[in-house]
Amino acid sequence: MDSRRPEAAQVQEMDPGEKRLNELGYKQELRREMTLFKTLAISFSTMTLFTGITPLYGSSLLYAGPASLVWGWVVVSFFTWFVGIAMAEICSSFPTTGSLYFWAAHLAGPRWGPLASWCCAWLETIGLVAGIGTQAYAGSQTLQSIILLCTGTNKDGGYFAPKWLFLCMYIGLTLIWAVLNTFALEVIAFIDVISIWWQVIGGLVIVIMLPLVSLTTKSASYVFTHFETAPDSTGISSKPYVVVLSFLVSQYSLYGYDAAAHLTEETKGADKNGPIAILSSIGIITVFGWAYILALTFSIQDFGYLYDPSNETAGAFVPAQILYDAFYGRYHNSAGAIVLLFIIWGSFFFGGLSITTSAARVVYALSRDEGVPFSSIWRKIHPKHKVPSNAVWLCAAICILLGLPILRVNVVFTAITSICTIGWVGGYAVPIFARIVMDEKNFKAGPFYLGKARRPVCIVAFLWICYTCSVFLLPTYYPLSWSTFNYAPVAIGAGLSLIMLWWVLDARTWFKGPVRNIDIPKGKV
């Protein structure tokens, strides 16, 4: 009797997430040492408070005025909850690093699983790698404004970084994130814990301080009810069309919560903590994001002046001009605006670091299942730090290539943002659709289970994702020209065509989706 106790204790001590991972056919390779708080920190950092709203705030405000922008956040947040709840249930059942890609394979069944996981994996990979680019671009844009205000202003001979220097900043941020991601996981987790406090405290400072510092604030009726189009600037006079476009800032900001799922093989109690981290991230960003939008909008001094290329920030970055107007109006210097811009820049830095972490995990998981050319290289785990370092550097290299057109093209950010959103959010659609059509008896529920509510929740989530992907393909300015054309449909179309051609001609003969690395008894999954 006594001889059995140590064995029983050992079984009891096995983490439930690791036990479920073994049932699914995978052995534990990564360190499982992340707590719920650390996982939440990385998930929240990937969504980030500032990085989605700040770069697109100016264009969304211009399309239809403040009311559409403010209420758009509420509408998008409502539908985002459906997507998050649907994904949380699946995450609870499949706590693996491959997340969406793994979910798609198992939910679609043996016949359609390989194709579903192939599409999902590549959509997610495209979205995440482009996501690194969005953070690097927006971070460089913020840094450009900081340098301009530190050296004067656009009116006082300040230094406005040219395109070559902008590209250097873009590449520099990407390389820093890659270097940090080659260290031990504890370093990344620690930095991301700093990130959540940085964004919470920094967000509170901006949300509270900005309206208080502003000499005047807009009225509540202006912020919540004022609607105006700008056909002279956008070339769009259709009111429904501009409302749709004004929602883009919210749709771009409210995703990324699947980062918690990418880390489930490294999280303690992942079958419970993964879903909690997903839903908590959505809740925090929903509240703080709306407060940030309101703070910016109430603090506007002169709506038309925000877009004037001769203003202090060269009309290049609307949030920077709002901050400058507030602090210069009261204190006659830009020091306060520079400090708050640095807080925002820090958010971009932490966001890019977290997205690099997530992108590398997806590439690693896909390589582990032979889904990427030269998979044997990208699936290697660093012998000391136990992180997929080769996958990290592959993501960084592709991100740098995406940024090279900065030297010649003016719409790079629009294209990268659209590619990121369509790929990232589009990847959510595949497992959610599979969850809708699968036979319920084949689903092994985890601790978080929707029961009879799963089908209506998943249907709403799937339709919302389809709508989101569609609007990011639309032209954002008229008349159409080489300088205003949204290149995302061409880029996404070409990329997905090549990927599907590869599937039809070759990959379908050998790619079977997630490959088990543990032999398990039949019928245990």
3-state secondary structure 287-302: HHHHHHHHHHHHCCCC
- Residue 246: other Cβ atoms inside 10 A: 26
> Which of 171-180, 440-449, 485-494 has the highest average model confidence (pLDDT)?
171-180
CA dihedral 460, 226, 232, 155 (to 10 degrees): -110
pLDDT at residue 103 in the model: 84
pLDDT band at 10 (very low <50, low <70, confident <90, very high): very low
Distance separating alpha carbons of residues 21 and 264, to the nearest angstrom: 10
pLDDT of residue 299 exceeding 90, the answer is yes
pLDDT at residue 373 in the model: 77
Q: What is the pTM of this model?
A: 0.84
Domains of the chain from N-terminus onward = 43-509 (1.20.1740.10)
Percentage, residues of the chain above pLDDT 70: 81
Cβ contacts of 418 within 8 Å, gap of 6 or more: 472, 473, 486, 488, 492
pLDDT of residue 520 exceeding 90, the answer is no
Average pLDDT over residues 470-496: 82
Distance separating alpha carbons of residues 328 and 214, to the nearest angstrom: 9
pLDDT of residue 314 exceeding 70, the answer is yes
Q: The tokens 């600037």 sit on which residue?
A: 233
Average pLDDT over residues 281-290: 88
Cβ burial of 475 (10 Å; 0-12, 13-18, 19+) is middle
Q: The tokens 């699947």 sit on which residue?
A: 258
Distance separating alpha carbons of residues 21 and 14, to the nearest angstrom: 11
Per residue in 162-180, pLDDT (tens digit) is 888 999 999 999 999 998 8
- Residue 481: other Cβ atoms inside 10 A: 9
Per residue in 396-436, pLDDT (tens digit) is 998 898 888 777 766 677 778 888 899 888 989 999 998 89
pLDDT at residue 171 in the model: 94
User: Are 366 and 128 contacting, i.e. CB atoms less than 8 angstroms apart?
Assistant: no
Least confident residue range of 33-47, 270-284, 491-505:
33-47
Distance separating alpha carbons of residues 60 and 64, to the nearest angstrom: 7
pLDDT band at 95 (very low <50, low <70, confident <90, very high): low
pLDDT band at 260 (very low <50, low <70, confident <90, very high): low
With CA atoms as reference, report the closest residue to 358 among 423, 402, 406, 418: 423
pLDDT of residue 456 exceeding 80, the answer is yes
Return the amino acid letter for 67. A
pLDDT band at 353 (very low <50, low <70, confident <90, very high): confident
Average pLDDT over residues 512-523: 58
Mean of all residue pLDDT scores within the chain: 81
Distance separating alpha carbons of residues 242 and 236, to the nearest angstrom: 7
Assign 306 to helix, strand or coil: helix
